[in-house]
Amino acid sequence: MASHPLFRSLALATAALLSVDGHAADAAPAVASFFDTPQVSQAELSPKGGYVAITTLLPGGVQALAVRDTSDLSKVTVLAKTAIERATITSIHWINDHRVGFTVKNLDNEFEGNLDEFAIDRNGDNRVHLIAGSWGHQQKQIGSNMVNRTLTAEYAYHGVTHDGSDDILVERYMWNNTDLAPDHSRLMRLNTRTQSLRSAFDGTQPPAVHAWFTDGNDVPRVVTSQVKGHCIASYRNVDDTSWTEISNGVCYQDQRFVPLFFDGADTLYVRANYKGYAALFRYKLKTMKMDAEPFVETPGYDFDGVPEVDRATRKLLGIHLRTDAGTTAWLDPAMKAEQARIDAALPGAINTVHCAQDCAASPVLLIASNSDRQPLQFILYTRASGAMIGLGGVHPDLKPAEMGRRSFHRYTARDDRSIPVYVTLPAAKVGGPQPAVVLVHGGPMVRGGAWEWDAEAAFLASRGYVVIQPEFRGGTGFGADHFRAGWKQWGGTMQDDLADAARWAAKQGWADPRRVAIMGASYGGYATLMGLIKDPAVFRCGVEWAGATDIKLRFTSTESDASKETLGYSLRLLVGDPDNAADAAMMRQNSPLLRAAELKQPLLMAHGLKDLRVPIEHANSFAAAVKAHNPNVTSIIYNDEGHGWRHPENRIAFWKQVETFLDQHLKHAE
């Protein structure tokens, strides 16, 4: 079929892909250039590499799923379209060389599930609506015809099979009588043409299964569960109808290992502690023993990686890793050599190279390339010639020269603990200390970021701010001791790390100590409020969104999506036990709600009415309490949002508000 105008003239000159010569433009890029829906958000090679599927925006703001012939990219078939303000395609996956699956999320539904699943032939024929999520029988967005065999929202896509069939793997969720989220799931096999459904294995399964791991034949072999604070891994032989525990320990404390993936040769790989950091180990299922030495270790960082597997040869080709930034450890010499050629052509970037399922037969490779100044873009690499053609990127309007440089450092907190931190400097070259923002990640039991381009940090830096992103204690990714040091430290040493980061940045000559703001979402929103209360001499103003405003309310809110397992075990271990007198006193002392009268600085706060993670009562209670003593508080409620901003128009409007707020209360403050 004829190509759409959008898909013409997409070839990029290799030398220009990551050019950062020249100076930043006088006018800062528009807010929408950072926070609008990505132009090209996903790309996936077909099993033999003859085609590439991408999600992209058509003129008028309509998202499309398109398939392009990798031997002639002008040959394009548009398979599906969806109105982006209502829904978005969150995942694309090749079922076989002739059939593509894709997942659609209703943006108006806060619950993480309720995903619609479709399958369609690459020529546009035989579209089937496999799972009807929250759209139900009202689904009109992409022109599907509902049939009686369409599954309900209690099912969700899990993964493809690799046997050339039309089957995919789906999870069937089951609920208890208490929690909003599913209690457990069972893995099923679904034919995407006939819609026939059957169990992926015979027999029973362990209780409270939340994660499934399949072998090289896509047969479920390992599951993980969480029961009464214990993290459990169980295993079955291919023909067994029962399961055997291979690991059982108190979560976060004494669990032996965490299963991660099987390679094509039926070897299980697990993450376990090694010299204080998580490393990757082989686990021998026949002997039920883990190797004594790690397969991959990343000293100074917890192992964080995903495998690249050739499904045809069942060979593990390499592992894509993250330390301070992304990299790939190739085991396959041919792929290692191709990586070197690609890196030479695209210097200064993290070039993550993906092969088709049948890697040896694929004529092309797919490159996901970005840097600290270059948002993610997708590039097709022809192996025979070395030619590269750009498929598009997430935010093509942004130019590297307009972005600030990011760097990784470590600073010493007041108790001598070393804290990792990312710093983004303004793109424009200016002399002397500049206004700064301490940007606090959510979680908090996660890793915050990496060296690669970050939309929020890049936006703030484009407005002239130094952006400081501490990997404070209690986060993951930097060793077991760093993680454990933050247990029950909400408002305590975790909070001190943020003030110490601001002081450290001032000592480096980057940040003006009189003009430092604090901001963040979720836990970062909590930390923003506590930072303004606890360290008024450090933080001049703050912006928080979707933030918890009272620790105890996390346990008592009837609107929260926290499970009884989380409330009964995880939160009590990591945050505090409200039934313990000392913990209860700590939680009262470190409650922004109970100390709202102490917050005197300007504050911008925003929450989603449909938030289940941090229900709206957090925002309403705190807004009422702080406004009684502080006239410089602006509170925004987005009626169609949950825990974060799914709708692009809300993201853009919010960050415009942030820009105006910081311009008034930070940049030009006396």
**Range of lowest pLDDT (13-22, 100-109, 412-421, 430-439):** 13-22
* 468 domain residue, yes or no: yes
Sign of CA dihedral 277, 283, 289, 293: negative
Is the predicted pLDDT of residue 538 greater than 80, yes or no? yes
Strand order in the sheet with 128-131: 87-96, 99-106, 115-121, 128-131
Q: Residue 430: its pLDDT value, please?
A: 80
Label residue 139 by pLDDT band (50, 70, 90): very low
pLDDT (average), residues 288-308: 96
Tell me: do 226 and 153 sit in the same domain: no
Residue 174, number of CB atoms within 10 A of its CB? 12
pLDDT (average), residues 98-126: 88
Q: Residue 134: its pLDDT value, please?
A: 66
Tell me: do 211 and 77 sit in the same domain: no
Instruction: Tell me how far apart the alpha carbons of residues 88 and 111 are, in angstroms, rounded to a whole number.
Output: 15
Residue 479 structural domain = 404-667
Number of domain units in the chain: 3
Amino acid, res. 29 = P
Q: At what angle do helices 523-534 and 493-507 cross, to 10 degrees?
A: 70
Q: Read off the pLDDT of residues 419-435 as tens digits, 9 standing for 90 and up.
A: 999 999 998 888 899 99
Tell me: do 193 and 96 sit in the same domain: yes
- Final residue before a domain boundary, out of 174, 200, 226: 200
Instruction: Tell me how far apart the alpha carbons of residues 629 and 361 are, in angstroms, rounded to a whole number.
Output: 68
* 337 domain residue, yes or no: no
Tell me: do 158 and 210 sit in the same domain: no
Q: Residue 590: its pLDDT value, please?
A: 97
Tell me: do 144 and 253 sit in the same domain: no
Q: Residue 113: its pLDDT value, please?
A: 64
Residue with tokens 């899990």: 158
Q: Residue 413: its pLDDT value, please?
A: 98
Label residue 26 by pLDDT band (50, 70, 90): low
* 65 domain residue, yes or no: yes
Q: Read off the pLDDT of residues 261-277 as tens digits, 9 standing for 90 and up.
A: 999 777 999 999 999 99
Average pLDDT, the chain: 91
Tell me: do 451 and 584 sit in the same domain: yes
Q: Residue 146: its pLDDT value, please?
A: 42
pLDDT (average), residues 322-349: 97
Is the predicted pLDDT of residue 17 greater than 70, yes or no? no
Tell me: do 484 and 577 sit in the same domain: yes
Q: Residue 618: its pLDDT value, please?
A: 95
Q: Residue 11: its pLDDT value, please?
A: 31
Q: Residue 669: its pLDDT value, please?
A: 76
Label residue 71 by pLDDT band (50, 70, 90): very high
Is the predicted pLDDT of residue 7 greater than 60, yes or no? no
**Contact at 8 Å (CB) between 156 and 113?**
yes
* 458 domain residue, yes or no: yes
- Final residue before a domain boundary, out of 287, 303, 319: 303
Tell me: do 153 and 196 sit in the same domain: yes
Tell me: do 121 and 249 sit in the same domain: no
Label residue 396 by pLDDT band (50, 70, 90): very high
Label residue 148 by pLDDT band (50, 70, 90): low
Residue 307, number of CB atoms within 10 A of its CB? 17
CATH number, position 567: 3.40.50.1820
Q: Residue 106: its pLDDT value, please?
A: 85
Q: Residue 10: its pLDDT value, please?
A: 32
Tell me: do 552 and 657 sit in the same domain: yes
Tell me: do 113 and 244 sit in the same domain: no
pLDDT (average), residues 441-448: 95
**Contact at 8 Å (CB) between 438 and 408?**
no
Alpha helices, DSSP H, located in 100-198: none
Query: Under 8 Å CB-to-CB from 186, ≥6 apart: which residues?
Result: 171, 172, 174, 199, 205, 209
Percent of the chain residues past pLDDT 70, beyond the cut? 93
Query: Under 8 Å CB-to-CB from 487, ≥6 apart: which residues?
Result: 474, 573, 574
Q: Read off the pLDDT of residues 496-531 as tens digits, 9 standing for 90 and up.
A: 999 999 999 999 999 999 999 999 999 999 999 999
Strand order in the sheet with 326-330: 305-310, 315-322, 326-330
Torsions phi, psi for 111 (to 5 deg) = -60, 135
Query: Under 8 Å CB-to-CB from 202, ≥6 apart: which residues?
Result: 241
* 446 domain residue, yes or no: yes
Is the predicted pLDDT of residue 115 greater than 70, yes or no? yes
* 539 domain residue, yes or no: yes
Is the predicted pLDDT of residue 177 greater than 90, yes or no? no
Label residue 138 by pLDDT band (50, 70, 90): very low
Is the predicted pLDDT of residue 25 greater than 80, yes or no? no
Strand segments (E) across 540-619: 541-545, 603-608
Q: Read off the pLDDT of residues 470-501 as tens digits, 9 standing for 90 and up.
A: 999 999 999 999 999 999 999 999 999 999 99
Distances (CA, A) of 486 to 438, 467, 480: 18, 23, 10
Output the CA angle 258-260-264, nearest 5 degrees: 145
Is the predicted pLDDT of residue 81 greater than 90, yes or no? no
H/E segment holding residue 623 = helix 616-627
Tell me: do 162 and 234 sit in the same domain: no
- Final residue before a domain boundary, out of 286, 303, 320: 303
Q: Residue 180: its pLDDT value, please?
A: 83
Label residue 149 by pLDDT band (50, 70, 90): confident
* 489 domain residue, yes or no: yes
